[in-house]
Structure 1
């Protein structure tokens, strides 16, 4: 074996051993794989889930997916589904062509959860998390309202709440200005 071949085999062995140790010892990798393991079709159908449903007389979009949250967490889980991304883009197009319309986001929370956010309720923090994502995708923040609501019948599935966000479209009415 030549010296060059020995070096190449050594580099290959280091890459393989490094990859194995990274996957085996990386705590974030194990958390991600545990979250993926928690997502099964059987578990989704047995516990309450809340779909991405936006309905206004002129506009309607429904997706089975929604923003999901870990228990006691204000941040939604990534990645989000392609179906949900399509819903966001559809909603953006609708709101951009209807400036008088606003989307109301209601974040739900359970009384068993702990609120470690700076918001008054975990539901409000979740609604703001989704609002920030919608703003990043081009929906003006002026057209998004947020609120939180206690929902006692929420049950986490292996530590994950499936879609604790509700959507409602409302129309803002501008008052006529009085000129003296």
Structure 2
């Protein structure tokens, strides 16, 4: 009896392998390009919404907006005179004594330039779209959002790199650009 069951299972397995799919080409949905995605205004608008999503970090506790206020009298970080607590490098910023390893400033830098990089990627895709003439308002809006990021970057750090591409080569980092040139951009 066991022998017959093994033979039947073997035949069933062989039959299922022989009856497998013959059309193995599949339609891929994970790869989007400007030519395939940016066809309608709704699709283009959804990518611009991604830039606005990056701006949502300005309301986070680790935000770049709050870092801008730390050095003013609008914001205070309470503490204990005896220490014993971690202020997340806020006191250094408030005392205008921030060092290069300040995590709060590094996070603010990364958030601002993440927003600028996202805007650059959206601009590149909108301008590469075959329907770019229909997206003039969205292109202008995305340029404004990128300029908003540069405004805060200049306000916090002065001369900053002027990056107009979505991705930069980490082995060839851009140099800083004077405020006047970034502002004129």
User: In which range does the TM-score fall when normalised by the shorter chain?
Assistant: under 0.3
| Between structures 1 and 2, the one with greater helix share | 2
TM-score (norm 2): 0.26
Query: Which structure dedicates a bigger proportion of its chain to strand?
Result: 1
